[in-house]
Structure formats: C-alpha cells, structure tokens
C-alpha cells in the first residue's frame, strides 16, 4: 500500500496547490502536470518496484497527468471558459470522463500491484520510531494520503459530478454558502471516525448534516413552483452530499483493507 499512499499524497498535494484554478491558466496547469509526472516517476525510483510494478508506476504517472489536465479542462469547459490549445470536440463531459478514468486507473493499478509496486523502508522505519509507532506504518501513510485527498481532490471530483448531471455547482455554492468548506470537514470527520472503528459516529455525522440543512431546503426559491418538485439547490445538496459521503466511506473501506 506504500506506493498507492504516496501516489495519492502526490495527487492530493498538487490539487491543494492548484485549488479551483481551471485550464484557462494553461501555463500553471502544464507545470503541475509535469510536476505530477516527474513526481510519480521519482516515487517509483525511490520505492524500487519489481517486475510488473514498474509498469504499474508508468501507468500511474500517465494517469496522474491525465487527471490534472482533464479535470482542469473539464472545469473550464463547464464554466464556459476558453481553453488554450484544446480542440473544440473536447467537451466538458469528455474531459470529465477522462479525469474520472485517470484517477480510477492510477489507483487501481497501484492497489493491484501491491508489494511489487515497491516499499519505503526508510520512511516506514521513521514512522515506527515516531509517536505513531503503535499504528502500522503503511496504514499511517495511507491515512495521511487520504486526508489530503479528502481536502482537495474529492472537492474536484464532486464539482465535476455536479456539472455532469446538470446541477451547476458554481450557482448553488452561492446559495448553500460554505459547502466547499463543510464538505471536506464532514469527510474528515467520517474518515477519522471510520478509521477509529466508529462507523456509528460516521453515520451520525451524515444524519446531522441532513437535519441541519433540511429547513433551508424546504424554503421555496424565487421562481420555483413551490413544493411541486426538487429545486436546483435541493439536487445540488443531494448529489453533492451523497458523492461526498461515498468518497469518505470509500476511503474508510480502503483503510480497513490495510
């Protein structure tokens, strides 16, 4: 799991740096894509994979570049922003599909590669010698990586999903203020509680958010047909929240595998 953990940590760190920037800032996006590719290959060299582990890391490096570029292009396309050097047929939906496929392929190949993807004995020894020695080093690395991913990368994944299903994220974020802050906070709570073995506590977090938001979602918006159907705000909350919760619970499941 060391390879997967360090790769996810790299992806998460790059996503923290770029924040909400889109592909209209092509120079920055290109630099971050290059950093991600080089970083992936450097991790491979440091971890010393064996056999098919090298192939897994090459695929992971390509997937990392695909994620950074495609997610940036998709974000820009959905926002109606011109993207330099990107052909017109590359729509937001196609770019989003490539982005999702890239993050899935990169994670899957390193997860399936397992031990042949390499190990970091120096890093794991340092973790054992630290105050975190009571937790398995690989699990500590994975938890750290997933925490960073929940803060940055999952925000992008949820945003793309909202645009894909036709619920404009940017408009509704202004209505449900703080959603981009509350999302990572609730995911971190779910991840922490789940990693500690308190799945009941994680369920309480989910229920609490639904209860707190319910009064706001019941208020008809200007131009809405009363209670005759779900508004964009309601759909935004439901789709975004369920996607966010699934990402956090998926991370908990990954931790339980270690």
pLDDT in tens, 130-156: 666 566 777 888 888 999 999 889 988
Half-sphere exposure of 206 (CA within 13 A, CB side): 20
Question: What DSSP string describes 227-253?
Answer: TSS--HHHHHHHHHHHHHHHHHHHHHH
**Average pLDDT value over all residues in the chain:** 79
Gap between the Cα atoms of 255 and 251, Å rounded = 6
In this predicted structure, what is the pLDDT of residue 41?
92
Q: What pLDDT, on a 0 to 100 scale, did the predictor assign at position 9?
A: 93
Segment 32-55, tens digit of pLDDT = 899 999 999 999 998 989 889 999
Q: Say which DSSP state 188 is in.
A: H
The low-confidence residues of the chain, meaning pLDDT below 70, are 20-26, 127-135, 168-180, 206, 209-233
pLDDT number for residue 131: 62
- Residue 76, SS3 per DSSP: helix
Neighbours of 71 (CB within 10 A): 27
Residue-level pLDDT at 179: 58
Cα angle 203-217-194, degrees, rounded to a multiple of 5? 15
- CA-to-CA distance for 24 and 21, rounded, in angstroms? 8
Tokens 């690395």 label which residue?
Answer: 141
User: Tokens at residue 92, please?
Assistant: 């937001």
Q: State pTM to two decimals.
A: 0.82
């Amino acid at each position: 799991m060391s390879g997967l953990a360090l790769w996810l940590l790299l992806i998460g760190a790059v996503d923290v740096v770029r924040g909400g920037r889109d592909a209209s800032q092509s120079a920055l996006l290109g630099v971050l894509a290059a950093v991600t590719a080089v970083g992936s290959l450097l991790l491979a060299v440091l971890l010393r994979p064996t056999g098919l582990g090298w192939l897994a890391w090459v695929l992971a490096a390509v997937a990392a570049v695909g994620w950074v570029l495609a997610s940036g292009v998709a974000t820009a396309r959905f926002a109606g922003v011109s993207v330099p050097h990107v052909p017109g047929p590359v729509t937001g939906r196609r770019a989003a599909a490539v982005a999702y496929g890239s993050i899935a392929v990169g994670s899957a190949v390193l997860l399936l590669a397992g031990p042949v993807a390499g190990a970091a004995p120096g890093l794991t020894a340092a973790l054992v010698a630290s105050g975190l020695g009571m937790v398995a080093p690989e699990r500590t690395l994975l938890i750290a990586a997933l925490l960073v991913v929940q803060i940055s990368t999952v925000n992008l994944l949820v945003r793309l999903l909202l645009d894909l299903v036709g619920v404009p994220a940017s408009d509704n974020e202004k209505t449900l203020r703080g959603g981009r802050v509350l999302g990572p906070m609730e995911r971190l709570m779910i991840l922490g509680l789940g990693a500690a073995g308190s799945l009941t506590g994680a369920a309480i977090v989910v229920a609490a958010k639904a209860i707190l938001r319910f009064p706001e979602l019941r208020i008809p918006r200007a131009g809405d047909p009363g209670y005759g159907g779900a508004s964009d705000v309601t759909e935004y909350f439901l789709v975004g929240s369920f996607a966010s919760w699934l990402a956090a619970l998926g991370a908990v499941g990954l931790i339980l595998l270690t």
